[in-house]
Structure 1
Amino acid sequence: MAGGLLLGGALAALLTTALPAQGPTDGFEDPPPDKIVIKVATVNGSGCPAGTTAVAVSEDNTAFTVTYSDYLAQAGGNSDPTAFRKNCQLNLIVHVPQGFTYAIASADYRGFAALQSGATGTQRASYYFQGSPSTAFRTHPFNGPLNDNWQATDTTDWAQLVWAPCGVQRNFNINTELRVNAGTSSASKVSFMTMDSTDGDISTVYHMAWKECPGK
């Protein structure tokens, strides 16, 4: 059997949108039927102060949502000199049924950007398992003038997915970053970039891909 579940970020209407079923050659396989447990080991970073981050697993245990409420980078005007870059690193403990492994196939990010002419913004993310030399990086640049919602999707080809090691518990790390550079914009005007939704929170849902471990 093969299938794929795609959950959007930010907007609630997209949180239950499903992709049509796909064949194994498309890179998505059905998740194992037993319960998947995801717990937050640590949350660190200027974009996720204590009490502003939560992780929830979908009802069918095929994806997880990371929600923030205070994640904004800005530059220009009276902005704090350190406010141009905000980041958040999540260290997650993911338990999957015996004989299965998983990888993060893709992730959707949405937010709002108010970039003055000459200013730039960047959304960046990296994904890696604790102790693994393989780290996947994705970067999305944005140029001013821009005063609108933004969206970015990180997608990894099936052959390039970084899988959790079979039979070994390794914490999974997600490090996201927002960066704003005032550039040639007016020094008196503020440019900012945030990941947010209609209710003021950031909701990012990560798409999981599954496969059986060798010898199962």
Structure 2
Amino acid sequence: MAGGLLMSSAIGVLLATALPAHPSPSAFTDPPTDRIVIDIATVNGSGCPKDTAAVAVSEDNTAFTVTYSEYLAQVGGGAPATAARRNCQLNLVVHVPHGFTYAIASADYRGYASLAAGASATAKASYYFQGSPQTASREHPFNGAYEDNWQATDTTDWAQLVWAPCGVQRNFNINTELRVRAGTSSPRATSYMTMDSTDGDISTVYHLAWRECPPA
């Protein structure tokens, strides 16, 4: 994989909570033993038509995955202009065992890209809890010529983790976007980018950090 395709960036502060703003690593705890459950409340976007996105939680409660089956942005090859940008917004209901709260420590995105020389693409993601006025976004650029799996990672420093508020249900929203640009590539060239991979592996993994809530 070409250098620079695997990138890390801080997600940043998205929501102020009642928990301390700068927890130390020693404040973290092991994941709860009771299974967490994540339901999709709503799903919208051209990149995730009905029944093409799914969520699954790891058995050890350390991560959850999102898979897509029709998430593809494309230019050329007779594709309409609207196909150059695809997006998906997931509104997730995260059922957390009593006494625990969670934060997104990192997110791994992957897919496949076929970019002609002179073409480019961008994978974009943002995260926020329901009710938050702030949204932080990160973009990962890719340049042609390129034809292979791609991967990008967003990582949050421990001091900047944003925790779900204790004792209150706040849905977690994930917005993603793929955009492909023809640039200086040949008018006859086809370029595309997907949010999945040719071997069918998991496309997106969200890694969780856990803390115990303070006594009520």
What is the TM-score with the length of structure 2 in the denominator?
0.83
Q: CA deviation at 1:28?
A: 5.6
Maintained 8 Å contact 1:122/1:142: yes
Tell me what 1:56 maps to: 56
Maintained 8 Å contact 1:75/1:191: yes
The CA distance in 1 between the partners of 2:26 and 2:49, in whole Å, is 38
Q: From the superposition, tell whether residues 150 and 26 of structure 1 become closer, same or farther in structure 2 (CA, over 3 Å).
A: farther
Letter in 1 for 2:53: T
Tell me what 2:67 maps to: 67
Please give the residue correspondences for 1:65-144 in structure 2 after superposition, counting only pairs within 5 Å.
65-144=65-144
Q: From the superposition, tell whether residues 106 and 26 of structure 1 become closer, same or farther in structure 2 (CA, over 3 Å).
A: farther
Q: Does 1:178 align with 2:178?
A: yes
Deviations 1:16-65 (A, max 9, x none): xxxxxxxx638864112223111110111100111111111122233211
Tell me what 1:8 maps to: none
Maintained 8 Å contact 1:77/1:187: no
Maintained 8 Å contact 2:127/2:137: yes
Q: Secondary structure at the match of 2:81?
A: coil
The CA distance in 2 between the partners of 1:53 and 1:201, in whole Å, is 14
Q: CA deviation at 1:179?
A: 0.6
Q: Secondary structure at the match of 1:82?
A: helix
Letter in 2 for 1:152: A
Q: CA deviation at 1:117?
A: 1.2
Structure 1 residue ranges (4+ consecutive) displaced by more than 6 angstroms after TM superposition:
none
Maintained 8 Å contact 2:125/2:176: yes
Maintained 8 Å contact 2:67/2:196: no
Maintained 8 Å contact 1:26/1:158: no
Count of aligned residue pairs for this structure pair = 193
Q: Secondary structure at the match of 1:111?
A: strand
The CA distance in 2 between the partners of 1:214 and 1:26, in whole Å, is 15
Q: Does 1:168 align with 2:172?
A: no
The CA distance in 1 between the partners of 2:27 and 2:119, in whole Å, is 38
How big is the alpha-carbon RMSD for the aligned residues of Structure 1 and Structure 2?
1.8
The percent of aligned pairs where both chains have the same amino acid is 76
Maintained 8 Å contact 1:134/1:162: no
Tell me what 1:203 maps to: 203
The CA distance in 2 between the partners of 1:77 and 1:175, in whole Å, is 27
Q: CA deviation at 1:174?
A: 0.5
Q: Does 1:46 align with 2:37?
A: no
What is the TM-score with the length of structure 1 in the denominator?
0.83
Unaligned runs of 5+ in 2: 1-23
Q: From the superposition, tell whether residues 155 and 212 of structure 1 become closer, same or farther in structure 2 (CA, over 3 Å).
A: same
Unaligned runs of 5+ in 1: 1-23
Q: Secondary structure at the match of 2:125?
A: strand
The CA distance in 1 between the partners of 2:198 and 2:147, in whole Å, is 16
The CA distance in 2 between the partners of 1:26 and 1:120, in whole Å, is 42
Tell me what 2:37 maps to: 37
Maintained 8 Å contact 2:149/2:197: no
The CA distance in 2 between the partners of 1:134 and 1:27, in whole Å, is 25
The CA distance in 2 between the partners of 1:26 and 1:180, in whole Å, is 43
